[in-house]
Amino acid sequence: MGKLLTLAVLGVAVALLGERLLSFWHRLAVSRELEPKRLPNCHLIKGIEYGSEDIDILPNGLAFISSGLKYPGVKSFAPDKGGQIFLMDLKEDNPRPVELRISRGFDLASFNPHGISIYVDNDDAVYLFVVSHPHYKTVVELFQFIEDDNSLVHLKTIKHDLLERANDILAVSPESFYATNDHYFSETILMYAEMFLGLSWSNVVYYSPNEVKEMASGFYSANGINISPDGKYIYVADLLDHNIHVFEKHANLSLTPLKVLPVGTLVDNIAIDPRSGDLWVGCHPNGLKILFYDPENLPGTEVLRIQDILSEKPTVTQVYIDDGSVIQGCSVAAVYEKHLLIGTVFHRGLHCEL
Ligand SMILES: *[C@@H]1O[C@H](CO)[C@@H](O)[C@H](O)[C@H]1NC(C)=O
């Protein structure tokens, strides 16, 4: 009887693991292969070699690009020094990235920038919020951008228990923001277990100096976050659930779920076209390839444009697809007028004219 019970327990355990593995495989879209779909006017951006994980663009065409991310479970070819913020002026004829100087006293060596967000204050002061992982911990660095000087003045470092797995950030005032935590656990091994078991414990947190609290939860892996041009709706990309959540943002800053749009791919950062309100999403066509980098089987790039997301029938268009032969590991696609900038987790950046 004892042996029979052991066998039964083992049988159940194997079945459960098998079921989890299948569902994990599905979340990673391991068998997904796409035909390339190119745009006619694209070139790799000179000077960006080690990633361009997130991009945010000011109304005057200045694009901020975070580069040099090193993150557990994510490929990096970056040298053993700090990451950078690049600036590209899309109003110029041949925009080139320029590395922004950071004010003295800031620890450049451990700067490890991830999601970024710009906030322009009423007095036109420009603030840049940056999720950074110094020594693989997580903080938010707040800077003021000084345009005359191409520099960032460091204002403060924000660290909080509710931000330990912060990935992307959305500034809503000079000192407050929403951020996504892409997992519940910050320890790598537990993070993998969380992913493998398919737990939906990832969330969105609101931070202000007076109040920090969870505003939405139940994501498999909340990643990109952004806001509609009128400030009424917040969009959150769930990377492992292959969809975009739309929330209504109330005056008291709480979020009410409005709808979920399935898009069938691993959605990373979300950028907004300020003119049309369209969402532009940098996506990983195949999660296995981005998570387990293999130079013989490169992670590709997929860029989606989502129009009329609030309507009953939003239009989702695959604007650009590459198998990794041009650009690998896409994490963001941001537009400014006729410009499309495609950024990556660890690879280069692509500049296209639409
Ligand atoms: C915030 O405002 C919304 C809409 O008015 C309301 O439903 C919700 O209960 C409020 N939440 C808090 C925490 O006050």
C-alpha distances in angstroms, 17 versus 36, 196, 200, 218, 220? 35, 9, 17, 22, 18
Angle formed at CA 277 by CA 254 and CA 200, multiple of 5 degrees: 45
Within 10 A of 191 (CB to CB), how many other CB atoms are there? 18
Q: Which domains occur in the chain, in start order?
A: 32-353 (2.120.10.30)
Is the Cβ atom of 214 under 6 angstroms away from ligand 1? no
Cα(255) to ligand 1 centroid in Å equals: 8
Pocket test for ligand 1, best of 254, 256, 258 (most atoms within 8 A of CB): 254
From the CA of 256, how far away is ligand 1's center (Å)? Answer: 9
161 CA from centroid of ligand 1 (Å) = 24
Q: Which token pair is 54?
A: 């997130």
Q: Is the CB of 250 under 6 A from ligand 1?
A: yes
Report whether residue 325 contacts ligand 1, using a CB cutoff of 6 Å: no
Q: Of 224, 316, 325, 233, nearest to 271 (Cα)?
A: 224
Ligand 1 atom nearest residue 251's Cα: 2
> Tokens 């899309």 identify what position?
90
- The helix (run of H) or strand (run of E) holding residue 120 is strand 113-120
Q: What is the pLDDT of residue 144?
A: 98
Q: Which atom of ligand 1 is nearest to the CA of 253?
A: 1
Of the residues 43, 114, 154, 284, which is catalytic?
A: 114
Q: How far is the CA of 123 from the centre of ligand 1 (A)?
A: 30
pLDDT for residue 72: 84
Ligand 1 atom 5: the closest Cα is on which residue? Answer: 250
| Closest C-alpha to ligand 1, atom 14 | 252
- Known catalytic membership, residue 114: yes
Identify the pLDDT of residue 1: 64
**Per-residue pLDDT at 189:** 92
DSSP 21-90: HHHHHHHHTTT-----B--SEEEEPTT--S---EEEE-TTSEEEEEE----TTS-----SS--EEEEEET
What's this model's pTM, rounded to 2 decimal places?
0.96
Per-run averaged pLDDT (10 residues), the chain, 354 residues: 86 90 92 94 97 98 98 90 97 97 96 98 97 97 97 98 98 98 94 94 98 98 98 98 98 98 98 97 96 96 98 98 98 98 98 96
Tokens encoding 93: 């004829």
